[in-house]
Structure 1
Amino acid sequence: MAIEQCIEFYFHLWLKYKDIVSVLYTRHGYVISERHLKRILKSRRLFRRKGYTEIEEVINFIHAQLQTSGQLHGYRWMYAKCRENGLHVKKEIVCLILLELDPSGVKLRKARRLHRRNYFAKGPNYIWHLDSYDKLKAFGICINGCIDGFSRKIIWLNAYTTSSDPKLVVGYYMKTVESLGGCPRIVRGDPGTENGHVRDFQRFLRRNIHDGMLIESYVEGASTANQRIESWWGFLRKECMEFWISLFGDLKDNGIYDGGFLDKSLLQFCFMGIIQDVSDETARVWDSHVIRPSKNDKVPSGWPSVMYLLPELYRTYDYMSPIESVELQVCRSECTFRLPVPCDPDVYDMCNIVMAESHLDLPNEPYQALDLYIRLRNEINASL
C-alpha cells in the first residue's frame, strides 16, 4: 500500500497526527515527520477543521434518524453516526440540532446515569465475551453477540430465529475465527447449553498452544456477571432495540400479533433483514465512536476499532492464538450456519407468492415492513 493510501486510511480512523506517524513507521516502515504528514494531508484535501457538511444536510439526516430507532440516541452517539455516514460536522452542532429537533428526548437522557464496575483485559483478543439478547425473543427474533474485552470492538452480532442451538452459536464463533485466522486466549460465556460447543471448540483449538498462560481458555459464570457484553446490551437497547420493543409491543397490544407460529414467521419475514441491518449499523457506529476515559486507569479509551487494530498505540499486543487449517475444517463440520431464509421455509414461499401476485417489494425501513406484515397477515389468514 502506498504511503498516501496508508495516511488516508489512518486519517479516516481518526488517529491523531503523532499516532499516524508512529503507525506508519512501526507497521509500514515509512519515516516521516508530522509536518510532512500535514503537507500530504493538505495535498489530498483532508482536513479536520475544514470542509464541513452543509448544515441543512446534517439536519435532514438527524431528522430522518429521529423517525426510527435514532430517536433513542444522545448527541455523542448521533455525532458518531453522522461521521460514520460521511457527514463532517462538529459535535456541538449535533448537540444543538438534537436540542432543537428532540427537546423532550434530550431532557429524558439527561436524567440517566450509568455506573460501571472496574474491569481489566491485557489486549485485543485476550478475552471475548459472548451472550444472547432475548428482548425480542417473544417475537421470534433472537440476537447473539460477542465483544472484545480490551477494545470493546464488536466481534459478531447476528439476528436469527433462535440463539438456543449450540451448533448455530458455535457457527458464529467458527466463522469469526476463520475470518480472523485465530481464536482468543479466553472466551467468557454463561453456563447455558447454547454455549457448550463454543466451550468445547475453544478448548480444542487451544489444547496444544503453550504460551505460558496457566489459565482456563473458556470461563463460565452467571450471565449478569459477564460485564462487557451485558453493559453493551444496555447500549444496544438504548440506541436501537427500544424502538423495536415498543413497535412490536404495540402490535401485540392492538391484537395484530398473537405470538402464534404464523404471526411469528410473518414478523421474521418482514423484519429480520431490517433488524440485522440496523444491528450491523449500530455495531459499525459503536466501533468508530470514542470511548471516553474512565476512573479505571487500566481500561484504555479511544475508538474500539483503533484499539483492536493498533494495540501498539496502547503499549500492548494482539493476543490472538493461531490455528491450523485442519483443525478449522474439523470444527466447521460440526457447525450449523444461518439459512438464507429468515423464517419457516413454507411461510417464506407463501409470502413470496403473495408479494409476486400483488407486485410488492421487500421493505427497507420499519414502517414499510409494518405495512407489509399487516397485509400479508390479512391475506394469508383470509386464504386459510
Structure 2
Amino acid sequence: MQLHAVSVCTSVCPMNQYKPTPPLDQIEPHIRRLWKARLTDKEIIAEVRKHIDMSVYGISLTKFLEIRKQLGLLRTRQQGHTCESIREVMVEMRNMYPDAGVREMIGLLFHEQGMAVSRSVMRDYCITYEPHLLKQRKVNRLQRRRFWAASVNDIWAVDQHDKWLRFGLPLHTGIEPFLGRILWMKVWHSNRNPQLILSYYLGTIKEFGYIPMITQSDPGTENFGIANAQTLL
C-alpha cells in the first residue's frame, strides 16, 4: 500500500514546482534603473515582480543575486575598493567636481563610474591624498552669502534635512523662496533616493501645471533626478 501511494503521488505531482526566471532582456532595464536608485536587493526584487507576469515567471533572492553578479552590479564589500584602487578615477573626478565632499563624491563615483566605495575608504583617501582640500573646506565652511530671486517661480530650492534622523524621520522640502511658499515637505524612510526625490518634483509640477525657471540644490546625488528632469523639461 505504501509503494502504491508513492507511485500515485509521483504521477500527479509536477516534475518542477518552481517557475522559470523571466528573460534577462525583459528585467535587465528595471534592475539597472532600481540599482541606480540604490535600493536594497529585496526592494529591487519587489519592484521587478511588478513588471513581470507572476503567473508565468518567478524570481527568488538567490536567482536575483546570480543575475546581479552576471550584470556586474556588485555591492561595496564585493567591489572591495581601497584608496589606491580609486586614486586614478578620483584624480579625474576631482577635476570635474573640485568642491565635492566625501558623501557627494561617493555618489558621483557610483552613478558615473559604477564604483561602490565605502565612506571609510573615501575618508581615508581624502586624508591621504587631499589634506589641503579638507583644510580648505573647514576654513570656508561658514560663509555669509546673499540669496536673490528675480520673481515668483524664478527659483525652486530643494534640500534634505537630517535634523530628525535620530527619530527615524528623514525630511525633504521644496520651497519657492520669492513668496516663501512650501512646495512640498515629505517625511519618508529615506531622503537620499534620487527616484523618490524626483517624484516629489514631478508631482508638484503636475499639480501646478508649470515649472520654475531653474532649480537650486546642493550637489548631492539625491538631486540628480530633479536636475535632469528640469533640463529635459
Q: Relative contact order, CA 8 A, sep 6+: which one is greater? A: 1
- Give TM-score, length-normalised by structure 1: 0.33
- Give TM-score, length-normalised by structure 2: 0.49
